[in-house]
Amino acid sequence: MNNKVYEMVTERIVKELERGVIPWARPWVDGGPPVSWATQQVYRGINRLLPPGEYATFLQVQQAGGKVNKGERAHMVVFWKWTEAEDAETRERKTIPFLRYYSVFEVSTQCTGIEPKRMHTAV
C-alpha cells in the first residue's frame, strides 16, 4: 500500500513539472502555509508543497454547509497511520507505520458556501 501512495505523490509532482510548474517554488506574494481548515494545523512534510490556503475534505465541506465546485479536482494529503501488531516470533507488541492519504479541496477557490477561518496577508 505504501508504494501506491509514493507512486501517486511522484506522479502528481511529475505532472506539475511537465506543465512547467515547479511545485516547491513559492510566489513572491505568499498567503501563508497550507493548513487544515478543520484543525487550523499547518501541514508538514511533502504536504507543504500544496499552494497556500485552507484545505478541507469533501465531507468537512458538506458538514459546514458548503459545496465543492463542479469539476474541481482534489489535492492529496499524505499522513502516517500507526497501528499495533504482535511479532509472530517474539510475541512483543510493535508499532507499525502505514502511509495513507486523503483528498482535500482548497476552501476559498474550490468551494462555495464555506469561508476560510483565517485571513492570509501578503508578505
Mean pLDDT of all residues belonging to the chain? 87
Count of other CB atoms within 10 angstroms of residue 39:
8
Instruction: Report how far residue 38's alpha carbon sits from residue 56's, in angstroms, rounded to the nearest whole number.
Output: 7
Q: Give the tens place of pLDDT for each residue, 19-67.
A: 887 777 766 555 678 999 999 999 999 899 888 899 999 999 999 999 9
Higher pLDDT, 32 or 83: 83
Do the bridges between strand 93-106 and strand 111-112 make them parallel or antiparallel, or are there none, so unpaired?
unpaired
Secondary structure (3-state) at 49: helix
* Alpha-carbon dihedral 111, 116, 117, 118, rounded to 10 degrees: 160
Residue-range domain boundaries for the chain: 2-23+31-111
CA–CA distance from 80 to each of 21, 45, 70, 74 (Å)? 27, 11, 30, 19
